[in-house]
Structure 1
Amino acid sequence: MAGGDRTPAGQRVWDTARELFYREGVRSCGVAEIAERSGVGKPSIYRNFGSKDELAVAYLREKAVSPKEILADARAAFPDDGRAQLRHVLAQVATAITDPGHRGCPLANAVVEFPDRAHPVREAAEELKREYLDLFTELVSSLPVEHPENLAYLIQMLVEGAHITGQIFSPDWSAASLVDAADRLVDSYLRK
């Protein structure tokens, strides 16, 4: 159900589920817990969202910033500089990694939680991740590099790794290393 179409009870469920899903994981939060914490009965949850899976997919779609918006923002900030556009996007990721309360990428977290590739939550997370890979492919395709698809895939791997190492070691170190590693990677793919 679209955000503007939710009942007040549906909005309470939405706010509660978003917080719990990100902080504790989608699988660990049952409908009973969401109902208890939001003060909304289970029937109302199902009326507003259909199922927990539909609620989780809506959560992932809301957490994923539109790649089209990201690209438009980067191009507006640096209209004639593809390399600066890429750095701009990576700097936004780096900033997110250092935000207090950051618990990693919600899409990657969902992929780990749902190993069955046919599960609707996993399918939604993978679809959204592919959109980000397409974003990086488009960004690096404007650069004078060899094998832009390969380079984009490697940059996506760096992004995923930075989210994880930020959780394990240091968010600041991971954020700074992401931008530096991507610069070095792009340099290694420049046409000679």
Structure 2
Amino acid sequence: MNSQSSQARQQILETASELFYQKGIQYVGINEVIAASGVAKRTLYRWFPSKDKLIEEVMKHRASQWLCWFEEAVAARGNTPKERLLATFDVLREWYASPNFRGCPFINAVLEIADASHKAHQVSVDLRESIRQIIMDLADEAGVENPEFFSQQYLLLIGGASLMATIEQSSTGAILAQNALAVLIDANLQHS
């Protein structure tokens, strides 16, 4: 794979990702992605032989970017595992408050693509599991009892905060979730 070809693929992914997020996956056609990305139709179809394949690859690309951003932003926020756990909602609050926030792209995709067997659905499930793993590791480092159970509770908080941010166009849910998380952490700390 030469770098020009790789750049074309990257351009298609970035363009499709932005269009899907802004307009909705169902409302963006292949021709719009081709026109907006400035690549030849043949080039797009060489990389992505169907819209379903493009959707899947866009979701994988976006999930990888999001997870990297999340991990780096959280790691930069706190000195202790407990501080980093709480900082997850500071990071999310800033994301929710950003002017181009149109909801969690992974929740959006699952809702738009009702077919649970679609590979994009699995990407969202995998991302959720990756987030849970990060939280489980931080909880373990922080001395939380039963980090596995705690990480499941955390997923409820992040899902609720993300949904609230999407519906209300407000980052208040992140503040409420962070307050609930602080209570959960303190209630579940191991006592020596």
2:139 match: 140
SS in 1 for 2:26: coil
Task: Give structure 2 stretches of 5+ with no counterpart.
Answer: none
Deviations 1:65-109 (A, max 9, x none): 464775466456545x21012122332122111111101111121
| 1:184/1:4 CA distance change after superposition, 3 Å | farther
Alignment of 1:1-192 (within 5 A): 5-6=5-6, 8=8, 10=9, 12-38=11-37, 40-64=39-63, 65=65, 67=67, 70-71=70-71, 74-75=74-75, 78-79=78-79, 81-191=80-190
CA distance in 1, matches of 2:14, 2:6: 11
Alpha-carbon deviation of 1:5? 3.7
Checking the alignment, whether the CA contact within 8 Å between 2:34 and 2:44 is kept in structure 1 is yes
CA distance in 1, matches of 2:74, 2:35: 42
**RMSD, aligned CA:** 2.9
CA distance in 1, matches of 2:140, 2:68: 16
Deviates more, 1:68-77 or 1:166-175: 68-77
CA distance in 2, matches of 1:23, 1:3: 28
Checking the alignment, whether the CA contact within 8 Å between 2:154 and 2:181 is kept in structure 1 is yes
Task: Give structure 1 stretches of 5+ with no counterpart.
Answer: none
| 1:157/1:147 CA distance change after superposition, 3 Å | same
| 1:118/1:92 CA distance change after superposition, 3 Å | same
CA distance in 2, matches of 1:145, 1:89: 16
Checking the alignment, whether the CA contact within 8 Å between 2:70 and 2:91 is kept in structure 1 is no
Checking the alignment, whether the CA contact within 8 Å between 2:74 and 2:91 is kept in structure 1 is no
Alpha-carbon deviation of 1:34? 2.3
Checking the alignment, whether the CA contact within 8 Å between 2:15 and 2:36 is kept in structure 1 is yes
Alpha-carbon deviation of 1:63? 2.2
Checking the alignment, whether the CA contact within 8 Å between 1:107 and 1:129 is kept in structure 2 is no
Aligned residues: 190
- TM-score under structure 2 length normalisation: 0.81
CA distance in 2, matches of 1:72, 1:15: 21
CA distance in 2, matches of 1:27, 1:149: 36
